[in-house]
Chains A and B, each alone.
Chain A
């Protein structure tokens, strides 16, 4: 069965491309959200396995949203993403209860699988 993902980014262009890219690798994009508040609502409604979460959201930091998502039940896995691709953001993401970090430009289904399996 396809793994389900909710894409959160205020940039519609990125959401569309990420959807195309992940769908081509067998992921089911169950929803999209443009900010943190919408992300929390949609995650509660759609119960995706994974939330792909932009670090810089118009209503605050993705790190805060990651923490709030981790506190929901059932909690989705959260992978933060950003146009920044500094390695240290990975650690920062984990410190805030997200599973990991993937730079936007390196986004792919395989990369997400790797982060989720801790590789």
Chain B
């Protein structure tokens, strides 16, 4: 890289140069011809050029990745021809190019110095590689937390199933064999019948507990049979209008299932509805879950209900939960769950 003696650097008092060089952010200025006239110390560290190399060079050639250069130059030309400034005076995120050819994410604002003659654009930039990495790591770790919680629930359900439930089943079969060997008039018959009834109750309670933790039918058969079962148990009549038979990632299926379960619980408790409608469909890389009711509407936000917990779960998966509940017009809960299938 050679210096560009023909393009004068911005002439500033030495104190002002010192001020700019002390800044943490990169400060880069260019003229109407697109050539760099100011390149502070932070810019030198970030992009890997000395001020002598940068000043006088074409800014786009120097700092903008080849794939973005045409757009950048068009923007500048349009602005200088009197067009509305598209990128001036607001924060934008874009990709920068270092001297070694590597690209990295930057945030920046560009301003055009008012009244400056000749034209002067000044950009303030920051390398946001670390923040981007931290954001990606945060996102990944939130997804891992949801997945770990789901896996733990499945494990608890399986342990209950393989342990206590299995033993109760064996006990029921043994009692029924014993009952079969005792005549109806026998004193023991009544005792065995009572024991069987008691056992039925215990089994039902355990089953409800296991189902609330994680429904086995969801693991075995996916959303469609699991939602059919949920609909069948609902206190308010439920129409399953549309549910895909396809299987999705376990965390996606569990989230969709719990959204419908929670929404139907709310309908039964608060909505004074006669009917609820459930629609689940794949739309542009997301599984969209909608539960509508024909009740009184006017529900106050997702807060205070079990939906808030689901909101966190959805946010962790990069999805979102929304509710519409105009008074007198019923309530619609809508969840969008990203699913790459």
> Which residues from chain A sit less than 8 Å from chain B, CB to CB?
11, 13-14, 17-18, 20-21, 24-25, 55, 61, 63, 82-89, 91-92, 104-108
Q: State A11–B167 Cα separation when bound (angstroms).
A: 11
CA distance A18 to B207 in the complex (A): 21
- Cβ of A110 to closest chain B Cβ, rounded Å: 11
Indicate if B119 sits at the interface (CB-CB under 8 A): no
In addition to A11-B166, A104-B169, 6 A-B residue pairs with Cβ atoms within 8 Å of each other are A21-B177, A83-B162, A84-B165, A85-B207, A86-B207, A89-B217
Q: For the complex, give the distance between the alpha carbons of A17 and B166 in Å.
A: 13
B interface, over-half SS: helix
CB within 8 Å for A88 and B173 given contacts A11-B166, A83-B161: no
Q: How many Cβ-Cβ contacts under 8 Å join chain A to chain B?
A: 70
The stretch among B226-234, B235-243, B324-332 that forms the contact with chain A is: B226-234
Contacts of B203 in A (CB 8 A): 85, 105
Tally B residues with Cβ within 8 Å of A.
27
Distance between B182 CB and nearest chain A CB, rounded to angstroms:
12
Complex: chain A residue closest to B231, CB-CB = A88
Q: Looking at the complex, which one of A87, A92, A104, A107 makes contact with B232 (CB distance below 8 Å)?
A: A87
- Name which residue of chain B comes closest to A24, CB basis: B180
Within 8 A of A (CB), among B206-220: 207, 211, 215-217, 220
Contacts of B309 in A (CB 8 A): none
| Docked-complex contact A88 and B225, CB < 8 angstroms | yes
Contacts of B139 in A (CB 8 A): none
Cβ-defined partner of A88 (8 Å) among B169, B174, B221:
B221
- Provide the bound-state CA to CA distance between A55 and B165, in Å: 15
Give the docked Cα–Cα distance between A86 and B233 (Å): 11
Query: Does the CB pair A21–B176 fall under 8 Å?
Result: yes
Per the bound structure, the CA–CA distance linking A21 and B170 in Å amounts to: 12
Neighbouring B residues of A11 by C-beta, 8 Å: 166
Cross-chain contact B173 with A92 (CB below 8 angstroms): no
How many Å from the CB of A32 to the closest CB on chain B? 15
Query: Are A92 and B221 in contact, with the CB atoms below 8 A?
Result: yes
Instruction: Please report the C-alpha to C-alpha distance between residue A71 and residue B228 in the assembled complex, in whole angstroms.
Output: 28
9 A-B pairs with C-beta separation under 8 A: A13-B170, A21-B176, A24-B177, A55-B220, A88-B221, A88-B229, A89-B221, A106-B172, A108-B176
Residues of chain B with a CB closer than 8 A to A106's CB? 172
Q: Does B168 contact A (CB under 8 A)?
A: yes
**Smallest CB–CB gap between B262 and chain A, Å?**
19
- Check A104 against B173 for contact (C-beta < 8 Å): yes
A63 to chain B, nearest CB (A): 7
Decide if A14 touches B225 in the complex (CB within 8 Å): no
- CB of B168 within 8 A of CB of A84, answer no
